[in-house]
């Protein structure tokens, strides 16, 4: 089965509205010179304050809008949080949930993340569920049980009917922001395992159609080799997405847009 590649720029806590508009203008210039493959879907996840600024240019640039987080409740006395219905109204198609920075820095548990996944689906958003192992977990050969637990528990409150309802992002924690990148073979083998677990949870048809992204210090130089792996369906890009030029090159690395 051919899965449409997806490349997501996760700006994290970077870029003001002015900087977001500058990024979009710079990307527009790049696209005029060298359009990216028509079969690739591209999304940008700015901070909440810059969502509207990116939305101004999203249609012209062919971008989908994503959010970096959402709360598990649709409304309520939760100061500082943003709900999935608010994000849907703002024009978002995707929302990132379960990122390792949320797990580590804010103590988000698999149970809480499962509620976020369900909240996103109720609001009509596609959750990008992040899973990944630490360096210690990989060295102690616990990668597979860790990923299986994160995936099974993260999907415990939803029933998936198609591959369009979820994106999974495998992000080895030891590679995020460190400059270290999993080898193509390691990423490919790990993501094949993730697809097997997804098949056990949601059924083979859903698993085969669901896109599994790789994240963790992805750069233009490493993107093509990673994308050549049959179970790498695109990228969740952090630091290399903060400037339009390297992000554009990563999207170009997805070739013809057919996995």
Of residues 41, 71, 88, 99, which has the active-site annotation?
A: 99
Q: Where are the beta strands (DSSP E) in the chain?
A: 6-10, 41-45, 63-67, 94-97, 126-131, 167-170, 211-215, 234-237
Residue (of 127, 129, 134, 128) closest to 104 by Cα position: 134
Which are the contacts of 255, defined by CB distance < 8 A and separation ≥ 6? 37, 224, 227
C-beta of residue 220 within 8 angstroms of C-beta of residue 254:
no
Q: Which residues contact 19 (CB under 8 A, 6 or more apart)?
A: 50
Buried b (16+ CB within 10 A) or exposed e, 196-234: ebbeebbeeebbebbbbbbbbbbbbebbebbbebebbbb
Residue showing tokens 């500058």: 22
In order of 94, 103, 207, the CA distances from 63 in angstroms are 11, 27, 25
Question: Is 171 a catalytic site residue?
Answer: yes
Q: In the numeric block, which tokens belong to residue 52?
A: 């509207």
Structure tokens at 213: 């992204």
Could you give the CA distance from residue 174 to residue 176 in angstroms, rounded to a whole number?
6
22 noted as active-site residue: no
Among 101, 133, 165, 171, the one annotated catalytic:
171
Q: Which residues contact 33 (CB under 8 A, 6 or more apart)?
A: none
The catalytic residue positions are 99, 171
């Amino acid at each position: 089965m051919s899965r449409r590649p997806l490349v997501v720029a996760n700006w994290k806590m970077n870029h003001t509205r002015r900087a977001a508009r500058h990024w979009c203008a710079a990307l527009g210039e790049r696209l005029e010179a060298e359009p990216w493959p028509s079969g690739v879907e591209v999304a940008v996840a700015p901070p909440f304050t810059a969502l509207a600024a990116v939305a101004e240019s999203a249609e012209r640039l062919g971008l989908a809008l994503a959010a970096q987080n959402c709360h598990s409740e649709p409304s309520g006395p939760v100061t500082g949080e943003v709900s999935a219905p608010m994000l849907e109204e703002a024009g978002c198609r995707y929302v990132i949930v379960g990122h390792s920075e949320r797990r580590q820095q804010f103590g988000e548990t698999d149970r809480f993340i499962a509620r976020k996944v369900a909240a996103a689906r109720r609001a009509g958003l596609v959750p990008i569920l992040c899973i990944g192992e630490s360096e210690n977990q990989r060295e102690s050969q616990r990668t597979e049980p860790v990923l299986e637990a994160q995936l099974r528990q993260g999907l415990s409150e939803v029933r998936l009917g198609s591959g369009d309802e979820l994106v999974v992002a495998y992000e080895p924690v030891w590679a995020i922001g460190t400059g270290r990148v999993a080898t193509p073979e390691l990423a490919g083998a790990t993501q094949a395992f993730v697809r097997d677990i997804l098949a056990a949870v949601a059924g083979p048809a859903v698993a085969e159609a669901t896109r599994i992204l790789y994240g963790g210090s992805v750069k233009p130089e490493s993107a093509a080799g990673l994308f050549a792996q049959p179970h790498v369906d695109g990228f969740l890009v952090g630091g290399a997405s903060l400037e339009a030029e390297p992000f554009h090159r990563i999207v170009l690395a997805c070739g013809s847009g057919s996995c």
